[in-house]
Structure 1
Amino acid sequence: MTLQTLVVVIASIMAVNNVAPIGAAVAIMLCSGGLAWLAVSREWLPVAALARLLEAWDPESPDMDGLRSGDERRSDNDVASLVKGLHGLASRIEGYGERERNFTRDASHELRSPLTVIKMSSDMLAEETSLSEFGHRSLERIRRSTRELESLVEAFLILSRESDQGLAEEDFVVNKVLRQEVDYARELIAGRPVELILDEPASFALHASPRVFAVLCGQLIRHALQQTDQGTIVVTVMPGSVSVINPAVDAPEPGSRRHASVDRHGFDLAIARRLSDRFQWPLELRSLPGASRVASIRFPNPHPIEA
């Protein structure tokens, strides 16, 4: 650019001082401009080729060979460094995708299999007539923990997927799925002074994954159970939303056993938040007069239940 400017200035001075004809000066200016344009175009050719390659890039089927061969063809050091960096980034992303697929496939099988064995063994052990009262209490704790672990594994497998592929969507009635989740949750409060009620003043359907819906609502219900020592927890179905209300409780003393439990089980709510953000079902938390806490999920596209 500096050389072209210098040529234009010299040609202009020569034309003004009648050292060279005006036509010759104009021709010099045009030739210098053309040569500059060719030089710039040549420098931009590798960048344009790289832009076309990235524009046609398919994350599901990355063209790694295109980046590698492009790196060998280009002599410009800056562009070659850029291509090398992009090739390394694409390789890492491809590795992440492969690990994600391996994890969801292997964990789905390897984690569910022992859980199934534990559940079957617990059911068989529950039929033993000679089991002591202490044994029955221990067995119930095992069954509750198995249920919690099963829900946690389900949530992790859903969140570990980069996309929603593999989650079958269908039309389902939310009330039916909630009844099952409430029944499961009642097993977790056996022997505790806590009551769990499902209030259904409305009913609606969704076109989504019932599995995701069940895991999300189950996490909110379990969070409420862990935050409540006694009282009544109400799960309410309203038009286009589901809410979980747990009663007001006294603030736990710092360092107490209950304080540690509340902190640990806030993890359920964190999973619920991630699921709601992932599937764009807004989650709202608020407090009612008397310090009762409400967690509500709003579903943007509810469907009426056909007769």
Structure 2
Amino acid sequence: MTLIVSGMFCLGIVAIVHFLEEHLVSEELVRELDFTINEEPKIEQASRIHANTRYYSTRSGNLAIPQRFLGLPEGFSEMVDGKEAFYVYKRSHKGHEDLLVEDQHEFEAREQTMFDVVLAGFILSVIGSWGLGRLLARKVMIPVRRLAQQVRHRDQLLPVAPRLAPDYPDDEIGHLAAAFDETLGQLRLSLERERLFTSDVSHELRTPLMIVSTSCELLRETPHLTPADQALIARIVRATAEMNDLVQTFLRLARAGQGNSVQGDKVALENIAVEQYRLWSPQFEAKGLLFTIEEEGTSRGRYESPQLRTVMSNLLRNALHYTETGSVKLILMAEGFRVEDSGQGIPEEEQERIFQSFVRGQQTRGEGLGLGLSLVKRICQQQGWEVSLESSLATGSCFIVKLGMGG
């Protein structure tokens, strides 16, 4: 904007100079021509009026008009002859033509000096405006940057986070800080309600789960149980254990970042993989799918049992739901594991959203709510693991979980 304003100002000066040049010089030449014509007794003596001005006329042979000035229009005009430039004023008077010619050299030198001054002023104004603009912008942006850093800080989501508005004056930045305070306050309340809900529900489920588990242990001691009864009790025990793991996982997620969470039991990856293979094999077999477990590398880390079991179980459940024919592979690696299926795959436009809550694939089956993969993502983030997806409509999907070194 400074460049545009300064440029227009300079162009205006140049236009004014040219306007004044034409009108002022024209008026001056008219006055001098009138004076010269009125001095008829003297016009025979010399045609030079001033150092840069000459008078020519058809009145006298001594004042004959030079060839190069013939044919000029009536009135004021500028003429360039090689390296010379002249102001010429021509007027017909009493049957004679009178010309007053003024050399532009002196005027052009002054004009060039003025143009140089204007150009220097333009450059200095642009540089000065740029420097002043940067200084003002830096001064104005300092509180904006500080506010942005405060908003990005993770402590702003804590229930006791200090307000931002008191640190700023009652201006636009202060109003923006107050708006952030209101929005962050609503977000903190929402997160706190979600955390309390998850924590309360998980805590209340522990008692009935303990009752179910204890009842199963008592049932096992009952004499004369048939094999069918024992198998049914075993299924209840496994389901109870799985629900207990989910409760522990939800409690850990609800208490994440509070610094008072308790470390759970840690197990090797191979142990959880074998356990899940035995648990899910009957369901894959019942659906006519080939379910295999393969080992590409040996993981030496130990990981929290409830979280690892929940992640692997949800990925296997997802593969079971979305694979109609073919196979599902649970492949163990040195840095984690992956679950490969031969299903229809996930379209590329859905892959970025597949880990979001309540997002389900287009080929949805079953009664899922679209929370399994979202839970997997949150557990991995809380544990410092990485989960990724590789999928194509031709070969199926592959979920890769990198567990790191472990404890």
TM-score range, shorter chain: 0.5 to 0.7
Q: Which has the larger radius of gyration?
A: 2
Matched, 1:282 2:388: yes
Distance change in 2, residues 1:137/1:87 (3 Å): same
Matched, 1:121 2:227: no
Secondary structure (helix, strand or coil) at the match of 1:242 reads strand
Matched, 1:270 2:373: yes
Any stretches of 5+ residues in structure 1 without a counterpart? 249-260
Secondary structure (helix, strand or coil) at the match of 1:263 reads coil
Distance change in 2, residues 1:158/1:138 (3 Å): same
Following superposition, the deviation at residue 236 of structure 1 comes to 4.1
Secondary structure (helix, strand or coil) at the match of 1:205 reads coil
CA deviation vs aligned residue, 1:108-142 (integer Å, no higher than 9, x gap): 43333332222122222232236688866764554
Task: Provide the C-alpha distance between the structure 1 equivalents of 2:265 and 2:245, rounded to a whole number of angstroms.
Answer: 21
What are the within-5 Å matches in structure 2 for residues 102-113 of structure 1? Answer: 102-103=196-197, 105-113=199-207
Secondary structure (helix, strand or coil) at the match of 2:210 reads helix
Task: Provide the C-alpha distance between the structure 1 equivalents of 2:387 and 2:200, rounded to a whole number of angstroms.
Answer: 29
What are the within-5 Å matches in structure 2 for residues 89-108 of structure 1? Answer: 89-103=183-197, 105-108=199-202
Task: Provide the C-alpha distance between the structure 2 equivalents of 1:43 and 1:228, rounded to a whole number of angstroms.
Answer: 58
Amino acid at match of 1:299: K
Amino acid at match of 1:282: S
**Which residue of structure 2 aligns with residue 212 of structure 1?**
307
Amino acid at match of 1:106: D
Task: Provide the C-alpha distance between the structure 2 equivalents of 1:41 and 1:284, rounded to a whole number of angstroms.
Answer: 50
Following superposition, the deviation at residue 101 of structure 1 comes to 4.4
Following superposition, the deviation at residue 294 of structure 1 comes to 7.2
Amino acid at match of 1:204: S
Amino acid at match of 1:237: L
Task: Provide the C-alpha distance between the structure 2 equivalents of 1:138 and 1:173, rounded to a whole number of angstroms.
Answer: 28
Task: Provide the C-alpha distance between the structure 2 equivalents of 1:284 and 1:235, rounded to a whole number of angstroms.
Answer: 15
**Which residue of structure 1 aligns with residue 97 of structure 2?**
none
Instruction: Calculate the TM-score normalised by the size of structure 1.
Output: 0.56
Q: RMSD value over aligned CA atoms?
A: 5.9
**Which residue of structure 1 aligns with residue 182 of structure 2?**
88
Secondary structure (helix, strand or coil) at the match of 1:129 reads coil
Distance change in 2, residues 1:92/1:174 (3 Å): same
**Which residue of structure 2 aligns with residue 73 of structure 1?**
170
Task: Provide the C-alpha distance between the structure 1 equivalents of 2:328 and 2:136, rounded to a whole number of angstroms.
Answer: 71
Contact 2:198 2:250 in 1 (8 A): no
Following superposition, the deviation at residue 65 of structure 1 comes to 3.2
Greater fraction of residues in helix: 1
Aligned-pair identity (%)? 19
Which structure is higher in RCO with an 8 Å CA cutoff and minimum separation 6? Answer: 1
Following superposition, the deviation at residue 265 of structure 1 comes to 5.3
Distance change in 2, residues 1:160/1:105 (3 Å): closer
Following superposition, the deviation at residue 284 of structure 1 comes to 4.3
Task: Provide the C-alpha distance between the structure 1 equivalents of 2:265 and 2:237, rounded to a whole number of angstroms.
Answer: 30
Secondary structure (helix, strand or coil) at the match of 2:400 reads strand
What are the within-5 Å matches in structure 2 for residues 52-63 of structure 1? Answer: 52-57=146-151, 59-62=153-156
Task: Provide the C-alpha distance between the structure 1 equivalents of 2:225 and 2:178, rounded to a whole number of angstroms.
Answer: 67
Matched, 1:174 2:269: yes
Decide which moves more: 212-221 or 164-173: 164-173
Secondary structure (helix, strand or coil) at the match of 1:264 reads coil
Contact 1:177 1:214 in 2 (8 A): yes
Following superposition, the deviation at residue 67 of structure 1 comes to 1.4
CA deviation vs aligned residue, 1:143-178 (integer Å, no higher than 9, x gap): 454344334445555666776975859996321332
Task: Provide the C-alpha distance between the structure 2 equivalents of 1:276 and 1:127, rounded to a whole number of angstroms.
Answer: 37
Secondary structure (helix, strand or coil) at the match of 1:282 reads strand
Task: Provide the C-alpha distance between the structure 2 equivalents of 1:221 and 1:113, rounded to a whole number of angstroms.
Answer: 28
**Which residue of structure 2 aligns with residue 256 of structure 1?**
none
Amino acid at match of 2:189: G
Contact 1:288 1:294 in 2 (8 A): no
Contact 2:311 2:379 in 1 (8 A): yes
Contact 1:232 1:247 in 2 (8 A): yes
CA deviation vs aligned residue, 1:51-73 (integer Å, no higher than 9, x gap): 32332457343364331453x63
Decide which moves more: 155-164 or 103-112: 155-164
Distance change in 2, residues 1:272/1:114 (3 Å): same
Task: Provide the C-alpha distance between the structure 2 equivalents of 1:100 and 1:300, rounded to a whole number of angstroms.
Answer: 27
CA deviation vs aligned residue, 1:223-255 (integer Å, no higher than 9, x gap): 5567799x997644344453557799xxxxxxx
Distance change in 2, residues 1:126/1:294 (3 Å): farther
**Which residue of structure 2 aligns with residue 299 of structure 1?**
402
**Which residue of structure 1 aligns with residue 31 of structure 2?**
none
Distance change in 2, residues 1:301/1:223 (3 Å): same
Distance change in 2, residues 1:262/1:65 (3 Å): closer
